[in-house]
Amino acid sequence: MASKPVEQLESVVIRFAGDSGDGMQLTGGQFTSETAVMGNDLATLPDFPAEIRAPAGSLPGVSGFQLHFADHDILTPGDAPNVLVAMNRLCRKPA
């Protein structure tokens, strides 16, 4: 098996994005907790629509969670993500 190159970064900004109600806030919160346990400094920016779940038959809103972390002081949730984790269904049956 070929090994992948390892790149050391000064800080990392990760954004989790998906449909409202699909667990983006939970995923971001869990990732934040694990990052803090490892001793990193961090800043978060939850981004969610006003509705928890869209009405039946309508398209849901988008929910996101951004996390900026490093081994030194972090002062902002970051400008642009280094990593985007997009969780969307690939196939949807027409209503």
Burial of residue 16, with CB atoms counted within 10 A of its CB: 0-12 exposed, 13-18 middle, 19 or more buried: buried
For 52-66, what is each residue's pLDDT tens digit?
A: 555 566 566 778 899
pLDDT at 95 (0 to 100): 52
Which residues are 89's β-sheet partners?
Answer: none
Task: Please tell me the pTM assigned to this model.
Answer: 0.75
pLDDT at 91 (0 to 100): 46
Q: Which domains does the chain have, with CATH numbers?
A: 12-87 (3.40.920.10)
Distance from the first to the final alpha carbon of the chain: 45
pLDDT at 25 (0 to 100): 87
pLDDT at 40 (0 to 100): 93
- Rounded CA-CA distance 17/19 in Å is 7
In this prediction, the residues of the chain whose per-residue pLDDT falls under 70 are 49-60, 89-95
